[in-house]
Amino acid sequence: METPNSGSWSELPMDILRFLLEHLCFIDFHRAKMVCRNWYLCSKQTVRRRSGSPLLILSSEDDCVLFNPEEDRVNKSTRDLSGTRFLANSGNWFLALDSGSNLYIEHAFSEKKRINLPPLESIKSDLFSLKRVGEKEFNERAVGGFPEKGFSQRVKDLRGLLWVDERKEEYTVAWFFDNGAEYIAFCKNGEDCYRTIPTRIGVHFTSQGISDMVLRGDFLYVYTTLKYVRLLDLSGHEGFMQVTNRSFILPFLPAFPPSSEEITYAGRLKVNYNIAVTRSGEVLLVKSMVFKATTSDMMPKRMFHLYKTDPNPDSEDILHRENLSFEVHSLGDCCFHIRSVM
């Protein structure tokens, strides 16, 4: 967003502007990118020292601050964040839910950059309707069913995903109630309601349910209850399209049986499975194992394993193998997206 005097500021020579940007602290650098288009373009050409630590959001019941470990600096917002719950982020943008159960998107470093999203109850569905019955509760019922036979959904169970493309000035939001979700709701910039994706009714049994999700651009990756990957294209104007992918015909599971550590420490071990997506669109399976406190210094408290699937499996593999995955020991310089939930 341009400031009233941004015209004169934008006329600064590029070398001077680049020098200024290089010497700003992390947060001021990101704020400077929003002064005008020229500053934004120059920031993309400015080489800054890579930050070794991510920023931390430290929250209390009625406030939160942003802490930069490298600069040992705390940045306190002047906005009222009492009752605010952050659901997800995409770059410098946050998907948040206010005390009145209203969704919005806001830039982390600019209080003027806020986008109010459609009300949660504005879902467009042939199967379900959602009615607000309080600030923290909604009544969900089947379309055509008895009004009194609805199901109570509470905002504490709301989960959300966000994707923002700052260059194109586009965003996609997806959310669901993590309480036996019957659908996923989503909207894109300029829309005044949420379209829905069924997760049970009319859906093949391998594609039912939600274990994990990743939103990347117009594509939503859903890791289903039975451990299959469901790929959905949200780019259409009329709804969504399910994409067929041969590498997802079989369940996406670890390539090997449980390790000796898993068997030995089964009573003190918690195993979770999540999916991640690389920038090229390749799906990875992340197996994380958390060990409870132990007296053995040799046993790590947390372990991770990464798996890929064969992108072009032949028919024999599909017919005779239980899954198409193999373990990955290095990703090189690869960067990937995971479900970003606050």
For 216-269, write each residue's pLDDT tens digit.
Answer: 999 999 999 999 999 999 998 878 999 877 767 778 888 776 666 666 666 777
Same domain, 31 and 4: yes
pLDDT average, residue stretch 137-143 = 89
Same domain, 172 and 298: no
Please check whether residue 292 lies inside any domain of the structure: yes
Which pLDDT value is given to residue 336? 61
Which pLDDT value is given to residue 261? 66
Mean pLDDT across the chain: 80
Please check whether residue 252 lies inside any domain of the structure: no
Same domain, 23 and 149: no
Same domain, 115 and 239: yes
Say if CB 114 and CB 108 are below 8 A apart. no
Same domain, 230 and 271: no
Please check whether residue 54 lies inside any domain of the structure: no
Same domain, 327 and 269: yes
Task: Specify the long-range contacts of residues 73-77, CB closer than 8 Å, at least 24 apart.
Answer: 73/25, 75/27, 77/111
Return the C-alpha torsion angle 107, 109, 110, 113, nearest 10.
-10
pLDDT average, residue stretch 83-112 = 86
* CA–CA distance, 176 with 157 (Å, rounded to integer): 8
Which pLDDT value is given to residue 64? 66
Please check whether residue 249 lies inside any domain of the structure: no
Say if CB 198 and CB 186 are below 8 A apart. no
Same domain, 237 and 110: yes
| pLDDT, greater one: 288 or 38 | 288
Same domain, 240 and 272: no
Q: How many domains does the chain have?
A: 3
Same domain, 237 and 108: yes
Give the global pTM: 0.78
In this structure, what token pair is assigned to residue 59?
């929250």
pLDDT average, residue stretch 84-96 = 88
Please check whether residue 298 lies inside any domain of the structure: yes
Which pLDDT value is given to residue 342? 47
* CA–CA distance, 326 with 255 (Å, rounded to integer): 5
Same domain, 196 and 113: yes
Please check whether residue 285 lies inside any domain of the structure: yes
| pLDDT, greater one: 282 or 118 | 118
> 176 lies in which domain range?
103-244
Same domain, 175 and 292: no
Which pLDDT value is given to residue 3? 45
Please check whether residue 78 lies inside any domain of the structure: no
Say if CB 150 and CB 140 are below 8 A apart. yes
Contacts of 251 (CB under 8 A, 6+ apart): 206, 226, 227, 228, 322, 323
Which pLDDT value is given to residue 147? 56
Same domain, 231 and 296: no
Contacts of 180 (CB under 8 A, 6+ apart): none
Q: CB count, 10 Å around CB of 88? A: 22
Which pLDDT value is given to residue 186? 97
Please check whether residue 95 lies inside any domain of the structure: no
